[in-house]
Every structure is written in C-alpha cells, then in structure tokens.
Chains A and B, each alone.
Chain A
C-alpha cells in the first residue's frame, strides 16, 4: 500500500508552507489552491495532506484554529508561525539549489 504521490519527498511540506504564507487556510482550501495554482498538475491526496498538516503542526511550523468560513461553517484553519516562516525560507533556498542543480545536469545531458 504505497502512497500514490508524484511529489518528491518533502516537497509537499514546502508547498503547504508556501501556500499558507499568503493567508490562513483550511485543509481542503490548501489542496484546492495547490491544484489550482499548478494548473491541475499537482494532485494532493487527502491521505498525504492531513498527516502532513498534523506533522507540521506538531513540529511547530503551523498553528491551527477553528474559525467560520465565508459560508458560515466551522473549519480548522492553519496558519504559519514565525518558526514556520523561517523554515519556509530555508526550504525555498534549498529547493532553489536543488532545482538549479537538476537543471544544470539536464542541460548538460542535452548538449
């Protein structure tokens, strides 16, 4: 029963943190936002999303609060903590390095 995920290990965390950097959101909205922004390329399954949210919360990167949505329903909204913001910067920098490196290798292979 492997988790069907096209995402690189650890990338989901980065996506969640980046998405939440804009504004607090609930789980469904996070998934929807990621899918939308990636033009439906990245499909976030709930089986991966919620454990990741809980893990990030446990690690102190996120904080959760129950709030009303625009439609007036109770939902659990996640927001970035200060530590989460630092972590996001760190992970972004790492991602840049990684994607640059991958890019270099791919281009070299083309030449």
Chain B
C-alpha cells in the first residue's frame, strides 16, 4: 500500500508543479488518439478528409475532455483558484464603482458592529482579571435614601466593619474608597497628579490578587492613624515609572507631601475594581488618617457612605443565599451603626435600610450605569445597519450576477464546466468579502477610538481595554461575507443549471424582462427602506433631543462663567480670609462679578436637607451663597431682595427660594416674609428661615432633569462656620486669561494657594456626552441608512430599466411620451418606497419606546420627528429612483432596439 501513496503524492506534485508539462502531455495524448482514429477510419475506406472529420466528431469537445482530465487530477482546484483569483481581481478592477461600493458597505457594516460591541464588551461584559471572578459579590443598600446616608459610595466605614464582623457568607470582605483620588506625586516644582485608590487591608485577599513584585497590602497595614502607609504600584505605573525594575520595591515616593515606601506591584491587567478608570497607586484606607493632615473622623461617621464593598463568597454559598443572609442581619447592623443627630423621620429611614449582594464579577462601573443602555441601543442600531448593508450587498450582487447571465451562457456554450463557473463566482465574492473585512477591521479600530474619545471629557481619562475582540470581528465578517457569497452564487447556479442556448435567448433577445426575477430584489428594497426608516427616525429623535438640551434655558447664563475652588487649608471657615479672597477675585480687572457657593451647579453632587412647612415636609436642595450670586449667574430675582452684608452669622436666618420651592412649601400669592424649617441632620441642627427673596427656577444636578425645589441661605449662616472657598466668576474676557489673572492676584495676596478652575460651559457640555454621542452616532447611522437605501433603490431600478431597454424602446417607438416612461419607472419605485415607509414607521413606533428614557423633551412617538424621518428617506429614495427613471426616459428608441 505505501507504494500507492508515494505514487499518488508524486502524481499530485507533478500536476501542481509541472503544470505546463502535464498540459502538453495531455494535448499530445489527445492528438495521438485523434491520429489513431483517423487511421482506423482510413482503414475502413473513408477518404482522408472524411476520415478526419469523422474522427473529430467522434472525439467530441477536446477542450471539455481536457478540462475534465484536469478536474480528475484534482490539483486543478488549486490552480483554478489562483486563476479565478486573478480573474476576479481583474473584473473587480474593471468595475471599480461596484467593487468600492460593495467593499465599503461591508466595511461599514462590519466596522460599526465590531466597534460598538468592543465598547460594550469592555464596559459591560468582561469579567475582572482575577481568579474566580464569579465568586465576587458587591454589597450595597438597594433602598438607599439620600439625605440620610450621603456620599458617592454605597456604605459607611462603621457599616463596613459591622458587616465584616457579623457575616458568614463571605470568606473575606474588602472595601475601597468609591472615588479614585487625584493625588500629588513628587515635591516642589515637579509635582504632578496621579490616580490613587484607597483600599482596605483585606482588598488583595478578597480579590485574590497576587503581586507582580514585592507584596500587596495586608490587613495589618491598615490601622487607624497608620504613620507610614505602604504604597502599591499598578503594573503599568511600575513599567512606565520604574521600567519594571524590581529595585522599585523599597524605594520611596512623595505622595501628598508624605514620603511613602513602595512595597509591591499589582498583577498585570488589574486596574482596580472600577472598569474604565486609570489606576496608578493603591494606598491603605488608613492613609486618610495619617498625620499631620490626616483626619480620622470619616472612619466614625455612619452617615457618610464613601466606600464600595465587595465580598468573596465562601465555597457552597450562592449569591442568592448570601443576599438573604445579609438581609437577615441588616436590622441588627443598622441599629448598631445608627448615626446620631438625625430627625425622627430620617432615622426611621436608616433603620429600614437592608443590605443586598449583587454579582461583582465584572467589577463596578459608573460608565456602565451611564452608558449601558445607550450602548445596547447603539448595538441595536448597528445591527440594523448591518442588515441594511447585507440587503444592499445582496441587491448589488444579484443585479451584477444577473447582468452577467449572458456571459455565463456564452462561457457554458464554449465548454466551461458548471462547477468552474460557480467556483469562479464564489471567488469573486470571496475577494470582495476579504477586502470588506480588511477595511472593516480598520474602520472598527478607528470608530471605537473615536467613540472613546467622545466619552472622555477633560477631567476623566478612560482606561478601557479596546484590544480587538477577534470572536466578534470574525462573527460579523462571517455573516456579511456569507450573505455576499450566497447571493452572488444564486444567479450563477441558475445560469449553470439552465441550458446554455436557452439562457442566451432569455438574456439577450427577450424584449420584456421576466418580472418574477425581480421579485426578490424588490422585496429587498422594501426591507431596506423600512429598516432605514427606523434608523433615520432614531437619528431624528436623538438629534432633536440633543438640540433641545443645548438650546434649553437652564435658568442661568452659562457662557462666560468659571468655577473656581480655592484650597485655604485650615482657614477655610475663617470669615476675614474668605472676605479678602472674594474681594481679591472681584478686584481682578477682567472679572465682572464673582460670588461664592457651597455647591456648583450641574454634575457636582447634590446637597439636600428636609424642609418643613404646614404645606409640605420633603427634601429640598440647599445652597449657601454670598451676595451677588444671582447677578453672577444671570438668574433673575423675581421678588424681594438679594442677600447683603447685614445678613450675618448673628442676624436672623433668611432664605431666598426658587419658584418651585415657593409652590411646594409656601403656597399663596407671595412667599416673601413667610418662614420654613430645615430638619436636623448631623452638623446641620434644625433651623428656621424667613424668606426674603424669590428667584427663577434653575437646573440643578443635570440639565436633563426638571428643576428641584431650592433654598439659598447666606454663606455667613452656614452651620459649620462661614463658607466661601468655591466661586462662580463671570467675565466677558477670554476665560484662560481670566484664570491666569486671578491666579496672579491670589498668589500676591496669599502665596501657595491651590486653585482649581473649570469652565462652566465645559462642565455642562461634558455632562451631555451621552446625549451627544447618541445624537452623533445615530445621526451618522441615519445618514448611512438613507444613503444605502437610496443606492439600493438606484441599483435595482437601474438594472431593471436596463433589462427593459427593448420594451422601453418599443414603447417610445410606438409613440409613448417620455413623461409616460418616467412615470412608469417612478410609479414602480413609489410603490416600493411607500410600502417600506409604512412598514418602517410601524416598526419605529414599536421600537422607539425602548429609547424613551434616553430622550429629552421629545416623545419617542413624536409625530413631527417621525414624519421628518419619513420625508428625509423619501427624498433619498426619490433621488435614487429619479436617476434611472430619467435615464430610461432619455433613451433613444433606435439605439435601444439596436442594442437588443
């Protein structure tokens, strides 16, 4: 047997490598056969001429026999493939418009889907790079009620400690500061900001981290007032700062003016429990209490929720069991950590809190909360784009293959093998798919970076792993390519199945095109139009919603405003220093006006107390401001007066309220002179205020939300001493220059004061990133959809009219007016588009409900926007159909008939 395999191998190699020799041999063999036949015929007594022609007849199609011999040699597959490849490339280059349209369509479909999925995957789906991430569970209070437990995190330190000591479900529980802090690294002129995370000593154990070098923080590193906390580097920081050198361990870093020892490096790939944030350093929680500037009070306050908490489930415990267990021990924990100083109502809320465990496998993420829904929505939109792209491709391929039916027939008649024809069409599809996929790969990486850039605002650098997900790329590329292949194949199969002569007849000499053949293509156009309507409607809704947001009157004039925060250290409640500070800023030449506030508006947290009058008891936003605040913001005072210097620490407490506050708490024609109370909270004893002014409503925490009830109190009457280190500054001069001028001014008054500036309009625009992203991307997809629909319609009509040239020629020759021809083609198009529009609008009405919560000030079924979408698409379709219609109407009947 082995001899046989060697024979086979030799044969194949010979066929493959010495192709020409084999071909020549084949020809010689055929010639010899022919000669033998001629001789045989001569022997039978035929004349030489007859002998030869009889032999030729008997032999049949030499080319065909040779082709079949080649097929028999098998290696022809490989040879043919290269031939087909060359041919396909040549043919595609000859029709560049088709090739580019198809490849670009593929690229956009593949690229957009991969990009969005990449982001979704990075933000939403990827689990933390730790051992057994599915055993991690985040612990939080699902019925958390702001006003009693405040802070950016989920739990307070005393509650975290109570959980640790009382729970049975977790092998360990870790806490970390919910905010990644910007800390100063280095000393003197070389300081810069790096991102640090404060973690409990149990952090590494709970997450199951092992150090890349040195050691990680241990429970014994984290004790209150720790004098010299060790610092752990993130792996990328270790690489960039120390070149990954192990000698970094034991060296010292200046962090916030403390000299700290580097004790170890976190494992590569781990950038903290929060997805999307950059992490440079990890410090123990106790670093907050390190002398001299440390303050341990935060560890005692059970009304300050600044921690996020994660536990690792013990073997045998499920998430549900753990959650149940936490719920069961909650009442005791809440009683044990009960914060003092709250009013009775608030206290009841606190005792009612219960704990819950949710899966922590993918870490925690603000990005997720912010963008989860929008990303899924965008993925849905790109999915629709992919559908349209596929439909468009099918149309293109069908039209093209249809137009080549005659070529196929001719080649069949000349003796081409059917299999060969089919393989060749597939090769063309393959070339297109490969080009599309390559372009799509590029498009995906560009697009996902553009989106990421969109999401990054000035202040926040995102740290997302956008390495290409090959699975999803392969998946998208595969489905698009298969569509492409199958649809190019269908007509080739049809052509190959039929009889060559028939095919030539049908494709060449018929005067009317076979309508049945277009049915599928027309169906595709209807599908395309209806999906496009949905996409365009989405674009109109999101762009409309965004327009409303940016043109909305928030109750203040944001342009020309700066937010400035001054670090006065221990003097932050010193009334004299604060008065000097405000005076210095106001005295800066470029500054038109300035006023202090305890809370900047928009994206800067909320500050609530419970307010009570006879009419209502509920939470309201409180803000302690200096005189001139409303003038600076450009918010009109509607009645009463602004604060002034006579509203002091000792004078009766006064307040200015907004319209909503007046309506809720002080019904009646005139709120001025009426009083209300604020209920007690730790540090905020109960107080009574007399209303002295009424101002217009303003947006508060976000532009998107309705104005809350607000009470403004003089900053001199702030419970913990005068407040005034945060300022709104208004100027008509360029704001960068104003910043510099204020800096110089303050530096000459009190050298070394740290100032942090934000351009208010930038803050607002950053807070609208999600809306802008949705508007931009849905707008892009909408335009793309309309474009593809137009192209699709054009393709079908152009092909159809081409096939009907003969018919149109005859009509014209028989006296049809050109207008009638135009009408004939357009009527056909209008029917398709109208059907598509109706289906699409129905779809849009059903689907848009899903986007309701992402829309602002627009109903998801807004008839104006949906109507506009339908109109826009109709316009695109009109252009797409007018071109071929005009072309048909301009036909020269003589020419058209002669072509036939």
Contact A51 B3 (CB under 8 A): no
A74 at the interface (CB under 8 A from B): yes
Please tell me which one of the listed residues B5, B8, B60, B71 contacts residue A46 in the complex, with CB atoms under 8 A apart. Answer: B60
A90 at the interface (CB under 8 A from B): no
A69 to B30 alpha-carbon distance, docked (Å): 15
Contact residues in A for B12 (Cβ distance below 8 Å): 58
Interface size on B, residues (CB 8 A): 31
> Would you give the shortest CB distance from A3 to chain B, in whole angstroms?
9
> B25-39 interface mask toward A, CB cutoff 8 Å, 1 = contact, 0 = none?
100111011011100
Contact A54 B32 (CB under 8 A): no
Contact residues in A for B8 (Cβ distance below 8 Å): 58-60
Q: Which of A45-97 contact B (CB under 8 A)?
A: 45-47, 50-52, 54-55, 57-61, 63, 66, 73-76, 81-83
Closest to B35 in A: A73
B706 at the interface (CB under 8 A from A): no
Please tell me which one of the listed residues B4, B5, B32, B37 contacts residue A26 in the complex, with CB atoms under 8 A apart. Answer: B32
> Would you give the shortest CB distance from B75 to chain A, in whole angstroms?
9
Closest to A52 in B: B72
Contact B37 A28 (CB under 8 A): yes
A20 to B862 alpha-carbon distance, docked (Å): 85
Contact B65 A51 (CB under 8 A): yes
A35 to B599 alpha-carbon distance, docked (Å): 106
A57 to B1 alpha-carbon distance, docked (Å): 15
Contact A58 B37 (CB under 8 A): no
> Would you give the shortest CB distance from A55 to chain B, in whole angstroms?
4
A27 at the interface (CB under 8 A from B): yes
A52 to B73 alpha-carbon distance, docked (Å): 10
Interface size on A, residues (CB 8 A): 27
Contact residues in B for A59 (Cβ distance below 8 Å): 8
Q: A47-B60, A50-B69, A51-B71 are in contact. Are A60 and B4 (CB under 8 A)?
A: yes
A45 to B148 alpha-carbon distance, docked (Å): 98
A28 to B4 alpha-carbon distance, docked (Å): 25
Contact A46 B33 (CB under 8 A): yes
A89 to B62 alpha-carbon distance, docked (Å): 33
B517 at the interface (CB under 8 A from A): no
A56 to B55 alpha-carbon distance, docked (Å): 25
B344 at the interface (CB under 8 A from A): no
Contact A46 B7 (CB under 8 A): no
> Would you give the shortest CB distance from A46 to chain B, in whole angstroms?
5
Q: Which of B64-82 contact A (CB under 8 A)?
A: 64-65, 68-69, 71-74
> Would you give the shortest CB distance from A45 to chain B, in whole angstroms?
7
Contact residues in A for B29 (Cβ distance below 8 Å): 27, 50, 75-76
Please tell me which one of the listed residues B7, B25, B28 contacts residue A83 in the complex, with CB atoms under 8 A apart. Answer: B7
> A6-49 interface mask toward B, CB cutoff 8 Å, 1 = contact, 0 = none?
00000000000000000000111100100000000000011100
> Would you give the shortest CB distance from A30 to chain B, in whole angstroms?
10
Most buried by B among A57, A58, A66, A81: A58
> Would you give the shortest CB distance from A40 to chain B, in whole angstroms?
13
A57 to B333 alpha-carbon distance, docked (Å): 87
Please tell me which one of the listed residues B11, B28, B32 contacts residue A28 in the complex, with CB atoms under 8 A apart. Answer: B32
A57 to B12 alpha-carbon distance, docked (Å): 10
Closest to A71 in B: B39
Contact B3 A83 (CB under 8 A): yes
Contact A28 B36 (CB under 8 A): yes
Q: Which of B262-287 contact A (CB under 8 A)?
A: none
Closest to A3 in B: B68
> Would you give the shortest CB distance from A70 to chain B, in whole angstroms?
12
Please tell me which one of the listed residues A47, A51, A61, A74 contacts residue B32 in the complex, with CB atoms under 8 A apart. Answer: A74
> Would you give the shortest CB distance from B508 to chain A, in whole angstroms?
20
A58 to B72 alpha-carbon distance, docked (Å): 8
B61 at the interface (CB under 8 A from A): yes
15 new A-B contacts, CB < 8 A, other than A50-B29, A83-B7, are A27-B32, A27-B33, A28-B33, A45-B60, A46-B33, A46-B58, A47-B68, A51-B65, A51-B71, A54-B72, A58-B12, A60-B5, A73-B32, A76-B28, A82-B4
Using a CB–CB cutoff of 8 Å, the interface residues on chain B facing chain A are: 1, 3-5, 7-8, 11-12, 15, 25, 28-30, 32-33, 35-37, 40, 58-61, 64-65, 68-69, 71-74
Q: For the complex of A and B, list the 5 residue pairs with the smallest distance between their C-beta atoms, beginning with the closest.
A: A83-B4, A60-B4, A28-B36, A55-B72, A54-B72
Give 22 A-B contacts (CB < 8 Å), ordered by A residue: A28-B36, A28-B37, A46-B59, A47-B61, A47-B65, A50-B68, A51-B65, A51-B71, A54-B69, A54-B72, A58-B12, A58-B72, A59-B8, A60-B7, A60-B8, A66-B25, A76-B25, A76-B29, A82-B4, A83-B1, A83-B4, A83-B7
